[in-house]
């Protein structure tokens, strides 16, 4: 009898451990985690142990006055100066599902390296497969941005990281629970101490800094287009050069918003893309700034690595790049419902591009692919959990299949 009770007790404890999971997950072997002492590719290590970006674009002054889309256009200010250890710690955290409330979702679940740091979904999925309301934006070149999320509601990478950690539609954690989980892990305690020369207690500020540091290392400025821009005119063939010319033309006006070399102007534009049910329910940046003129306005996304980041637009409406281009070609405001008033961006016209010109644009945008500075995806992470680089199963609401507005 006693033996049966003991056996039942062991089984019950095992089930509880399995259910709680993240709280009792055995930490990984500490001997396999050594933070990098060198900077990621494209960065130079300074005498005070900081990583500073080095690129040929830093030799160019802004040449906007000579025509938007010029190949020698300079870059905006970059966020760099983190230590190699902070960047590498951020990399481990980025792929570790320990940051989510139940240990099932990591940052990489919605920002997959193989998907251009998006997730390949029309709307992102969080803990328990809960659906958000928008597609996941790419993280390439976030070091140059000044606002984050489609509606520009975060002004720093640290703020962006915090919102994702605590959003019920994403990782659904709490600051208290997150700190308890991380501080209970001796490996993470040691790694944070190395990265920040701090005590053994992990702080939220250092967590946000590490995640920001890693994201600033995701630089994509070495595509075939970039080689062409720096003087290697053989890097693009004649059709691709023709596509660049269409891209820069006053007829297509692509470069007015998707301005090289980042292929975004980091601004908000109202272009009249509907939600998936052909209505405009998502007010976008209007909620962020409280200005009605920004209703339906969203940040201009980068076109870097765009062939890997489908589906396109904030609502993930277009599965093919050609479809996204044809949306503009169908005319200004053609998709805006008659009962909806939007102040469309003045660059949105009716370019009436030919099929051949659209083909040229698609071909040119493929030249913007560059993943040479792709970070190494860890096989193991300090929590001992399995690194998550895929999506959970969707759980939707019968009344709102896209989930609640974020």
The pLDDT value given to residue 30: 64
Whether 373 shows a pLDDT value over 90: the answer reads yes
pLDDT band at 14 (very low <50, low <70, confident <90, very high): very low
What is the per-residue pLDDT for 64? 53
Whether 401 shows a pLDDT value over 80: the answer reads: no
**367 has pLDDT over 70:** yes
Angle (deg, nearest 10), helices 84-94 and 204-216: 100
CATH number for the region 33-216 comes to 1.10.760.10
| Amino acid 21: pLDDT | 42
Whether the domain at 33-216 and the domain at 224-366 fall into the same CATH topology: yes
The 10s digit of each residue's pLDDT in 265-285 is 999 999 999 887 666 689 999
Per-residue pLDDT, 292 = 95
Domain ranges of the chain: 33-216, 224-366
Which of 131, 42, 47 has its CA nearest to residue 87?
42
Query: Which class is 224-366 in CATH?
Result: mainly alpha
Query: Lowest mean pLDDT: which of 69-73, 216-220, 231-235?
Result: 69-73
Q: Which of 31-35, 171-175, 184-188 comes out lowest in average pLDDT?
A: 31-35
Q: State yes or no: pLDDT of 218 exceeds 70.
A: yes
- For residue 13, pLDDT over 70 is answered with no
pLDDT at 177 over 60: yes
> How does DSSP classify residue 378?
P
Q: DSSP for 110-158, please give it.
A: HSBGGGTTB-SSSS-B-GGGBB-SSPPPP-TTGGG-S-BSTT--BSSHH
pLDDT at 68: 61
pLDDT at 63 exceeding the cut of 60: no
Q: In which residue are the tokens 């961006």 written?
A: 345
Residue 118 dihedral angles phi and psi, to the nearest 5° = -115, -165
Question: pLDDT band at 8, cuts 50/70/90?
Answer: very low
pLDDT at position 350 is: 85
Phi-psi region of 73 (alpha: psi -120 to 50; beta: other; left: phi over 0): beta
Q: What is the pTM of this model?
A: 0.88
Cβ contacts of residue 152 below 8 Å, gap of 6+?
Answer: 268, 285, 288, 289, 299
pLDDT in tens, 130-165: 988 999 999 999 999 999 999 999 999 999 999 999
**Rounded CA gap, 374 and 141, in Å?**
12
Per-residue pLDDT, averaged over 341-347, amounts to 88
Answer whether 375's CB lies under 8 Å from 41's CB. Answer: no
């Amino acid at each position: 009898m006693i033996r049966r009770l003991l056996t039942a007790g062991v089984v019950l404890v095992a089930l509880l451990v399995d259910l709680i999971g993240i709280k009792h997950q055995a930490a990984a072997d500490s001997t396999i985690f050594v933070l990098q002492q060198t900077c990621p590719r494209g960065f130079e290590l300074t005498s005070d142990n900081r990583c500073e970006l080095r690129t040929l674009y830093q030799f160019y002054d802004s040449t906007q006055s000579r025509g938007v889309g010029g190949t020698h256009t300079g870059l905006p200010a970059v966020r760099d100066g983190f230590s190699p250890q902070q960047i590498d710690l951020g990399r481990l955290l980025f792929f570790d599902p320990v940051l989510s409330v139940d240990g099932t979702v990591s940052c990489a679940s919605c920002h997959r390296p193989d998907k251009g740091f998006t997730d390949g979904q029309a709307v992102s999925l969080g803990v328990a497969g809960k659906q958000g309301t928008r597609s996941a934006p790419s993280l390439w070149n976030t070091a140059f941005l000044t606002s984050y999320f489609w509606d520009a509601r975060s002004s720093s990478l640290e703020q962006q990281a915090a919102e994702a950690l605590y959003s019920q539609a994403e990782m659904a954690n709490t600051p208290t629970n997150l700190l308890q989980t991380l501080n209970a892990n001796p490996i993470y305690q040691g790694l944070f101490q190395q990265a920040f020369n701090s005590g053994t207690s992990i702080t939220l500020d250092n967590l946000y800094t590490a995640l920001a540091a890693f994201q600033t290392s995701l630089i994509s400025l070495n595509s075939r287009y970039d080689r062409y821009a720096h003087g290697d005119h053989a890097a693009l063939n004649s059709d691709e050069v023709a596509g660049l010319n269409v891209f820069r033309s006053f007829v297509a006006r692509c470069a007015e918003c998707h301005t090289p070399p980042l292929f975004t102007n980091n601004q908000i534009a109202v272009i009249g893309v509907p939600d998936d049910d052909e209505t405009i329910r998502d007010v976008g940046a209007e909620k962020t700034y409280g200005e009605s003129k920004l209703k339906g306005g969203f940040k201009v996304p980068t076109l870097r690595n765009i062939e890997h980041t489908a589906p396109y637009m904030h609502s993930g409406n277009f599965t093919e790049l050609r479809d996204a281009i044809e949306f503009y070609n169908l005319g200004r405001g053609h998709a805006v419902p008659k009962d909806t008033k939007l102040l469309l961006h003045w660059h949105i016209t009716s370019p009436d591009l030919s099929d051949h010109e659209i083909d040229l644009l698609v071909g040119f945008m493929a030249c913007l692919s560059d993943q040479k500075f792709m970070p190494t995806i860890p096989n193991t992470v300090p929590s001992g959990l399995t690194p998550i680089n895929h999506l959970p199963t969707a759980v939707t609401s019968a009344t709102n299949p896209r989930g609640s507005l974020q």
